[in-house]
Chain A
Amino acid sequence: QKEVEQDPGPLSVPEGAIVSLNCTYSNSAFQYFMWYRQYSRKGPELLMYTYSSGNKEDGRFTAQVDKSSKYISLFIRDSQPSDSATYLCASALNAGKSTFGDGTTLTVKP
Chain B
Amino acid sequence: KAGVTQTPRYLIKTRGQQVTLSCSPISGHRSVSWYQQTPGQGLQFLFEYFSETQRNKGNFPGRFSGRQFSNSRSEMNVSTLELGDSALYLCASSLAPEGPEAFFGQGTRLTVV
Contacts and interface: CB of A to CB of B under 8 A. Distances in A.
- Contact residues of A: prevailing secondary structure: strand
Interface in B37-94: 42-45, 48, 50, 55-56, 58, 90, 92, 94
Contacts of B96: 95
What band does the interface of chain B fall in when counting residues whose beta carbon is under 8 Å from A?
Answer: 20 to 34
A43 B105 contact: yes
Interface in A2-40: 32, 34, 36
Interface centre among B58, B100, B101, B105 (most CB of A within 10 A): B100
Contact of A100 (B42, B94, B102, B107): B42
Interface centre among A32, A43, A49 (most CB of B within 10 A): A43
Interface residues of A, number: 24
Interface stretch (A54-62, A76-84, A86-94): A86-94
B102 A46 contact: yes
